[in-house]
Structure formats: structure tokens, C-alpha cells
Structure 1
Amino acid sequence: MKVLGLFLCLLCIAPDKELATVRQQYIDAAVSAESALVFHASLEYLDNSHENTTLLAYKAASIVLMAKYEKGLFTKTRYFNRGTDLLEEVIEKDAKNYEARLLRLNIQDNVPWITGYTGDIKKDKAFLIANYAAQPKDLKVFTKNYVVQCDAFSDKEKALFN
């Protein structure tokens, strides 16, 4: 009976812990190719129809980040398109997924304009601002850490994330 209780407790705690780990891997992946490989490998097991749309959004981001470290234009483009297509599918499937919209904003804010993947910045900013107060504390901290260093937000908009 104790084992069953422990198992149920771990099931309740694991998703949050897993998400905290995935968030940190995302941050690390933007800094080094090795971290990007680890991040990508940690999410590769997810089927694209997985029910957890937040994890799928991170999988999409991991694919986009792989493009950053590839050498050839064809390979870069293939990774980028696969990742952004998956992210758009996730957002279409779960339009109210705050974290998926945050990831899309981060990607669109950081890719070169020539990719043509910058059209949702204003919409995602407005969504994040409007829905920030309703997010759990850990996601608020994650969001604020991104927003304060993001050039897409004005100082006035950044102040809304306190």
C-alpha cells in the first residue's frame, strides 16, 4: 500500500519536475551545440501526436535549435521547417497553451527576418501579457526571465510582468 501511495505521489510530482528540467535544457540549448543535442535527444521519444502539448512545443523548439548548430543550408532549413511546422501544429491544436506561445515568441524574436517566421510576435506578446497573471509561479518566473532580456518588449510592457 505504501508503495502504491509513493507511486501516485511521484506521478503527481513528476510532470512539474520534468517540465522544470525541460525548461532549463531549453535555456542551455541556446548556448551550446552539445546542450542542444542533449535537449533534442531528451524529447525525441515523443510522438508528434502526444497529448502533452507543452512537451510537444519543447520538442518543436529542440528541432529548431538543432538548425542553429547545423552547417549546411539545406540541413538547417530542414530542421527549422520541421520544428516550426510542429510548433504551429501544437498551437493550432492548443491555442491557449501559454508556454507554446512563449516559445514561438522566443523563436520568432531570435531568427533572422529572412526566414519569414516573424509574423506572430505582436499577437503572442499580447497573449502573454493578457494571460500572465493566471500562470503558475514557476512559469511566471520563467516568463519574466525571458521578457526582461527580450528586445521585443518595451520597458512599459516589461513592467507588466511583475
Structure 2
Amino acid sequence: MASEPNIKSIRLKFHNSTSSEEVCKDLIKQLEPYNERNSPLLLGYKGGATMIMAKHSFNPFSKMSYFKNGKTILEKAIQADNNNVELRFLRYTIQTNVPSFLGYSSQIERDQSFLRQSVSGLKDAELKKIITSYLKQQA
């Protein structure tokens, strides 16, 4: 397997995948080799990007399929590394942005509380800034 991708480039691609189907597809393809054993974090991003593909699809069945598959992948990643702040932030941002009718909001309060307690201990200054800023927006 090639060396693990730079997490900063993955974050940027993930952010840009919301507005570009090509970037989203490229990110999913790049993260294909990762699973809950070799990188729960990259698996989580693969799940998130898969959910974002629903936004780029016009077919209602495809939309639901992308969303459900992505949700399953993300939840598997969190199950493998439940105390990973970035994974929990990923789920939190998704749950606070998806329409309520999708029924994917059960962890919002728990994740928000976890993030508020954990953000100060982060070594990654960029991630800390991103999470702190997002939590302020949600307040």
C-alpha cells in the first residue's frame, strides 16, 4: 500500500468535495484502501465523502444509498476509535448539516459535549482551530 495520505490534504479535499463531485469521487477513490484496522480516521473520511456524494446525485434512490453506505462506514470508523476527536467532529458536522428527515442526529449532543471536553487537549493546532470555530458557530 502507498504511504498514508497527508491528513491536511484529506481535510481540504473533504471540504472541497461538498461543492465538487469530481473532488468527492477522487477522495473516495484515494481512501479506498483504508478500513477500521489500518486507519479508522481515513475510513471515517471515506464514509463522510460517500455521504457527500448523495448531494451530487439526482436520483433519490442513489442519494439514499450513498447516504446510508457512508453512514455505515463512518459509524464503523467511530466504533473502531471512539475517542478520536476528529472522527467525532466529522460525525458532528455531518449530523448538524443533514436534513432532519434522514434521522441522523442522535449523537449531536453527545458529540458536542465530547468535543468541548476534548478540544483543548488536541496537539494539532489547525484541527483545534477548526473545531473551536465550528462549535462557536453552532452555539
The answer to which structure, 1 or 2, has the higher relative contact order (CA under 8 A, 6+ apart) is 2
1:38 to 26, 50, 61: 26
Compute the TM-score of the two structures, normalised by the length of structure 2: 0.89
- Give 1:95's aligned residue: 82
Of all paired residues, the percent bearing the same amino acid is 30
- Give 1:10's aligned residue: none
Matches within 5 A, 1:63-82: 63-82=50-69
- Confirm or deny: 8 A CA contact 2:16 2:23 kept in the other structure: yes
- Confirm or deny: 8 A CA contact 1:26 1:62 kept in the other structure: yes
- Give 1:58's aligned residue: 45
Return the structure number with greater helix share.
1
How many residues are matched?
A: 136
Compute the TM-score of the two structures, normalised by the length of structure 1: 0.77
CA distance in 2, matches of 1:144, 1:34: 29
Displacement after TM superposition at 1:124 (Å): 0.4
Q: SS of the residue aligned with 1:110?
A: coil
CA distance in 2, matches of 1:40, 1:144: 27
CA distance in 2, matches of 1:84, 1:31: 19
- Give 1:9's aligned residue: none
Displacement after TM superposition at 1:40 (Å): 1.9
- Confirm or deny: 8 A CA contact 1:108 1:118 kept in the other structure: yes
Structure 1 unmatched runs, 5+: 1-13, 155-162
Q: CA RMSD in A?
A: 1.7
Structure 2 unmatched runs, 5+: none
Of the two, which has the highest radius of gyration?
Answer: 1
- Give 1:159's aligned residue: none
